[in-house]
Copies of this chain bind each other. A is one copy, B any other.
Amino acid sequence: MVHYAPYLALPKHLINIRITEIINKFDKKIKPMDPLVIWTNVYLNPSEVALLQSETKHHQLILADAGPHVLAQNSGDPRLSSADVVFGQPNPEDLLTSHALRWTHVSSAGYTRYDSPSFWQHFCSRGIIFTNSSAVFSEPCAEHALAALLAHTRQLYPSYLDQLQRREWQQNAIRAASSLLSEQTIVIVGFGTIGQRLAEFLKPFGSATFACRRRPEPYPGVKVLSLDELPNVLPVADHVLNFLPENTGTIRFFDQARFSRFKRGACYYSLGRGTTTDQPALIEALTSSRLAAAYLDVTEPEPLPPDHPLWSTTNCYITPHSSGGHYNEALRLTKHFLNNLRRFENGEPLINRIV
């Protein structure tokens, strides 16, 4: 916990400050229960492996080969068939053929590779629990979205381009292109945990904030609409943020027809899945100046090939699907899993349960 240790050096009266920890402390002792077989292929550093081992010492832990990054899918492991609990990115086929399985906890927010009726039917009919790690990624994703919004209003990219190239100190031009997020209108499309966290960040700005989702529910400070009502708000939005998951209803959701409803000079942000954007239509909307800029953290395909036209489209700014990332994500993933493991042991409701 590199961020907290230095406090020990502080004078005592400075220590009493509030630090929000998203991940709950798991100070409960493990109750006696039959040992579980826990299989994981999450990419972990030695310190997280040690934490996992220490916190699962009453169980049997199988450390399978991890892929090249935390979200890499396992290519198949016969040992998974004996596991009660699976934590990571297991091969979906392995899950379907396992007979011992009681709970799968994926180390990602998205779960497209498991999202099929036959998969859910298998889990439901056998009472297998499926949880994801959206609590771990919603915070960085929402922070990333606000970073992109403010990078636009404060014109950080054009300033940096001038620093790299001509160093003209374009004070007048940059100031004239800057704006106040607090005066603007924001539309969040796909209003789950990430969008809701973004709405919390936006509250002190006082920005006019709309959200569109399949099943609208009231949310403080946000006007929540159905996806059908999106065309009514697109013409007034300064910023439209796409957090849609990938499913049959969202493939190429932002297409030529929807971009044509945007206010001229609006900005588009895509942080959910690359497939939900019709990329040729986006390129057209940018080159025709319908959109002032686009900020993409997801593309189709990923990685985006170096010669793909999106890279060089005017005012299209790309991050490499990094919005959920953070240097300590393996630690936070591990803590999130262990928090749920304590709940599983105690028969309590699990966090981020999908089925």
Chain A positions near chain B (C-beta within 8 angstroms): 3, 6-7, 9-11, 14, 17-22, 68-69, 139-140, 143-144, 146-148, 150-151, 153-157, 159-164, 166-172, 174-185, 200-201, 203-210, 221, 223, 225, 232-233, 235-236, 238, 263, 302-304, 306, 311, 317-329
Contacts and interface: CB of A to CB of B under 8 A. Distances in A.
Given A17-B208, A150-B150, A153-B143, A236 B10 contact: yes
Number of copies: 2
B236 A322 contact: no
A34 to B, nearest CB: 36
19 contacts: A3-B184, A14-B233, A18-B221, A143-B181, A144-B154, A154-B322, A156-B157, A157-B160, A159-B319, A163-B311, A163-B317, A164-B164, A167-B306, A169-B302, A171-B302, A171-B322, A175-B324, A175-B327, A200-B204
Given A159-B319, A171-B320, A236-B9, A150 B147 contact: yes
Contacts of A167: 304, 306, 311
Nearest to A166: B306
B235 A175 contact: no
B236 A185 contact: no
A17 B311 contact: no
Contacts of A232: 10-11, 14
A97 to B, nearest CB: 31
Contacts of A169: 302-304, 320
A150 B146 contact: yes
Contacts of A304: 167, 169
A225 B210 CA distance: 39
Contacts of A328: 179, 183
Contacts of A146: 146, 150
A190 to B, nearest CB: 19
Contacts of A175: 69, 322, 324-327, 329
A183 B11 CA distance: 20
Contact of A160 (B160, B177, B233): B160
Q: Which of A150, A154, A306 has the most CB of B within 10 A?
A: A154
B18 A206 contact: yes
A167 B21 CA distance: 35
Nearest to A174: B322
Given A174-B325, A320-B170, A140 B263 contact: no
Given A154-B319, A156-B147, A319-B159, A177 B327 contact: yes
A325 B176 contact: yes
Contact of A204 (B11, B21, B166, B201): B201
A183 B22 CA distance: 9
A178 B326 contact: yes
Nearest to A322: B174
Contacts of A181: 143
Given A9-B235, A166-B306, 15 more contacts: A3-B183, A14-B223, A14-B233, A17-B209, A18-B206, A19-B206, A20-B205, A147-B151, A156-B156, A159-B322, A174-B322, A175-B329, A176-B327, A179-B327, A180-B326
B323 A154 contact: yes
Contact of A3 (B154, B221, B238): B238
Contacts of A302: 169, 171
A157 B182 CA distance: 24
